[in-house]
Amino acid sequence: MKIMRNSELIKIFSEMAELLEMKDVPFKPRAFEKAAHSLEALEEDVADIYKREGIAGLEKIPGVGRGIAERIEEYVTTKRIRDYAQLKKEMPVDISGLTAIEGVGPKTIRLLYKKLKIKNVRDLEKAARSGKLKKLPRFGEKLEEKILKGISFQKIHAGRMSLGEALPLSRSIIGRLKKIPGVSAVESAGSLRRWQETIGDLDFLVIASEPARVMSAFVAMPDVMGVTARGETKSAVRLRSGIHADLRVLPPESFGSALQYFTGSKDHNVALRTIAIAKKYKLNEYGLFKGNRRVAGETEEGIYKKLGLDWMPPELRTNTGEIEAAGKHRLPKLIDYDDVRGDCQTQTTWTDGAHSIEEMAREAKRLGREYIAITDHTKSLAMTHGSDEAKLRKQMAEIKKLNKRLSGIRIFSGAEVNIAKDGALDISDAVLAELDFVGASIHSHFNLSTREQTTRLIRTMENPHVDAIFHPTTRVIQKRDAIALDLDELFKAAARTGTMLEVNAHPWRLDLKDDLVRRAKTFDVKFIIDTDAHSTAELSYLEYGIAQARRGWCAKKDVINTLGAADFSALLEKPKAKRFSSR
């Protein structure tokens, strides 16, 4: 469970970072951002730490200095932070709502408030529609259009929660439900069980000897804002985060069929029911029936088996060929959640990350990884203080020292090299050749034509030192569309040059996404799955990327960082074009 008080402080500190950024205050925004990041990773309530050890205890939290500790103390003891209240008074705007719109950052928010008194997305839309935005300094027609597009993008996706928020929430609710006496099984079904990238609502299924007890406990959870339905075996609630959750209590003999039914997808279920009917069965959430006799229902396996199908992982249930494959006993053997052994994209305090190389490496080790590549940004991404050649060499020396000192984790030197408009890189080939692992990625010029964008990435892939393209389509879920690309041509070039494509596991990105992974695979493209972590907490994101690869029908052999550290390193020693040819 994300601890309540911590999550309130995370929000306050991130907002303070943005508010101070708007006022051009130097250094301080970074300190608040860092504090917010480290509270995210904290597993204990700050109030408990404060009660036990006072302000000195707070200062022991990584990323929390004296100033931040004092503000935490103030919040714990008075429920408010005075300088936050003051900042909000000067700038009473909905920061998280506005920054969620693509193209709107802290500086823009300040300008919008100063010039047009814009406080929220609704004000912003009105101003854009009436043509007031384009008259502002540095704005113009194009930015106004971009903002309107961003707002409509938001509306289309409104009401759905990112998997990255929904999964921890679901897990904490499952933990709570399991503790209720008489409960013997709890599962999360629906889109969450299929690891879909956004979630409409949560669906819980429970076996319990006393359903009434489960109902009262469910509607009384501290996260519950409102109860929309309450019955003997079924309830629905609205949670604080805005998402709805359904819960059903089932008898054991129907648990498998309910799990199957409520996992979906709807398209998968419709196809399955057609098969059932053809075989003279009736299939619903209570079981598989021949006449009035239940022939299966206790387990999912039982249902699929009676229909002549192999059981299939929920990630595959989209009715895009999995049912046919299951009927021919030709389902792919998917990569497992514990198959990935190293994380190949991480950022540190050397650029825009919140933690040092050593902190990141230690956390990666704690999570069971065998290796981690440090891939800080490069110089043309100026706002991250990106590395130039000299800084990269200095970092390589530091990594060498750390590798001698640390055991049980190997650190590879690397970079996330920024790709210019024409596909060129901002680091010399000589230095790229010295790095263990080089990723390259696009962070600008998102609006080029398909032709230009495809040529741009292929030129980058032709560089013999570029091992992988990071977040290849640069989409941001619910925020920014993928760039225009001739994907087939891109995938062909990736396979030909031996350039790996990343499945970025960050729940904002998930890039390449499931269906593109599946298509790339037909061209024999090889993948790596990375977290793109900018803090130790984000190193745990790997599972989201693995889920995406599974939804793209990937086997272990398709994903190169399933190799151990020695094999991975040996592979990188080979010339790119020869790495995968014998496979």
Residue ranges in contact with ligand DGT by CB under 6 A: 190-191, 199-201, 203, 261-262, 264-266, 269-270
Report the C-alpha gap between 341 and 370 in whole angstroms: 6
State in angstroms the smallest separation of the CB of 33 from ligand DGT.
31
Give the span between the Cα atoms of 502 and 468, in whole angstroms: 7
Residue with tokens 């009917």: 277
346 binds, among Ca ion, ligand DGT, none (CB under 5 to 8 A by kind): none
* Residue 535 site contact among Ca ion, ligand DGT, none (CB < 5 to 8 Å, cut-off depends on kind): none
Residue nearest to Ca ion (CB): 190
Residue 139's binding partner out of Ca ion, ligand DGT, none, with CB under 5 to 8 Å set by partner kind: none
Closer of 265 and 299 to ligand DGT (Cβ): 265
Contact of residue 460 among Ca ion, ligand DGT, none (CB under 5-8 Å per partner type): none
Residue 191 Cβ, how far from ligand DGT at the closest point, in Å? Answer: 3
Residue number with the smallest Cβ distance to ligand DGT: 264
Q: How far is the CB of 272 from Ca ion (least distance, A)?
A: 18
Rounded to a whole number of angstroms, the minimum distance from the CB of residue 234 to Ca ion is: 11
Q: Which CB atom, from 199 or from 487, has the smaller least distance to ligand DGT? A: 199
Identify which of residues 278 and 382 has a Cβ nearer to ligand DGT in the complex: 278
CB 266 within 8 A of CB 255: no
Q: Which residues, including other chains, have CB under 8 Å from residue 480's CB and lie 6 or more apart?
A: 102, 153, 446, 474
The binder of 212, among Ca ion, ligand DGT, none, by C-beta within 5 to 8 A per type, is: none
CB closer to Ca ion, 168 vs 408: 168
Establish how many alpha carbons lie within 13 A of residue 192's alpha carbon, considering only the half-sphere containing its beta carbon.
28
- Residue 327's binding partner, choosing from ligand DGT, Ca ion, none, with beta-carbon cut-off 5 to 8 A by kind? none
How far the first Cα of the chain sits from its last, in Å, is 44
CA distance 9 to 15: 10
- Whether residue 265 has a cis bond before it, omega within 30° of 0: yes
H, E, C per residue of 542-583: HHHHHHHHHHCCCCHHHEHHHCCHHHHHHHHHCCHHHCCCCC
SS3 letters across 364-395: HHHCCCCEEEECCEECCCHHHCCECHHHHHHH
User: 526 with 554: CB under 8 angstroms?
Assistant: no
Dist CA 279 CA 285 (whole Å):
18
Q: Cα Rg for the chain, rounded, in angstroms?
A: 26
Q: How far is the CB of 262 from Ca ion (least distance, A)?
A: 7
Q: Taking CB within 5 to 8 Å according to partner kind, which of ligand DGT, Ca ion, none is near residue 25? A: none
CB of 263 to Ca ion, least distance (A): 9
Indicate the residue among 96 and 274 with the shorter CB distance to ligand DGT: 274
Q: Which of ligand DGT, Ca ion, none does residue 270 bind (CB under 5 to 8 Å by kind)?
A: ligand DGT
Distance CA 548, CA 196 (A): 8
The interface partner of residue 485, options being Ca ion, ligand DGT, none and the CB cut-off 5 to 8 Å by kind, is none
Q: For residues 283 and 276, is the Cβ–Cβ distance under 8 A?
A: yes
Helices and strands, number each (H, E), in the chain: 24, 17
Which residues make beta-bridge pairs with 377?
416
Phi, psi (degrees; rounded to nearest 5) at 261: -60, -50
Residue 264, binding choice from Ca ion, ligand DGT, none, Cβ under 5 to 8 Å by partner class: ligand DGT
**Contact status, residue 345 vs residue 563, Cβ threshold 8 Å:** no
Q: Which is nearer to Ca ion, 166 or 495 (CB)?
A: 166
Tell me how many degrees the CA angle 546-478-355 measures, rounded to the nearest 5.
60
| Residue 262 interaction partner, one of Ca ion, ligand DGT, none, beta carbon < 5-8 Å per kind | ligand DGT
Indicate the residue among 265 and 349 with the shorter CB distance to ligand DGT.
265
> Smallest distance, Å, CB 269 to ligand DGT?
3
Q: Are 557 and 567 in contact (CB under 8 A)?
A: no
Helix 4-22 to helix 82-90 angle (10° resolution) is 50
Minimum distance from residue 199 beta carbon to ligand DGT (Å): 5
Residue closer to ligand DGT, measured from CB, 164 or 264: 264
Comparison of 264 and 552: residue with beta carbon closer to Ca ion: 264
- Minimum CB separation of residue 246 from ligand DGT in Å reads 7
Site residues (CB under 5 A) for Ca ion? Answer: 190-191, 201, 203, 246
C-alpha torsion angle, residues 434, 435, 439, 444 (rounded to 10): -70
114 binds, among Ca ion, ligand DGT, none (CB under 5 to 8 A by kind): none
From the list Ca ion, ligand DGT, none, pick the one residue 150 interacts with, judged by a Cβ distance below 5 to 8 Å according to partner type.
Answer: none
- Closest contact distance (angstroms) between CB of 149 and ligand DGT is 24
- Nearer to ligand DGT by Cβ, of 15 and 246: the residue is 246
Least distance in angstroms from the C-beta of 263 to ligand DGT: 6
User: Are β-strands 161-162 and 287-290 bridged in parallel, bridged antiparallel, or unpaired?
Assistant: unpaired
Cis peptide bond prior to 512, omega within 30° of 0: yes
Toward ligand DGT, which CB reaches closer, 203 or 532? 203
**Closest CB 190 distance from Ca ion, rounded Å:** 3
Residue nearer to ligand DGT on the CB measure, 271 or 537: 271
Question: How many Å apart are CA 167 and CA 156, to the nearest integer?
Answer: 22
Give me the least distance between CB of 575 and Ca ion, in Å please. 48
Question: Residue 436 binds which one of Ca ion, ligand DGT, none, with CB within 5 to 8 A depending on kind?
Answer: none
Residue 263 or 395: which CB sits closer to Ca ion?
263
How far, in Å, CA of 364 to CA of 540, rounded? 8
For ligand DGT, the closer of residues 195 and 261 by Cβ is 261
Within the chain, what is the greatest distance between any pair of CA atoms? 76
Instruction: Give me the least distance between CB of 267 and ligand DGT, in Å please.
Output: 8
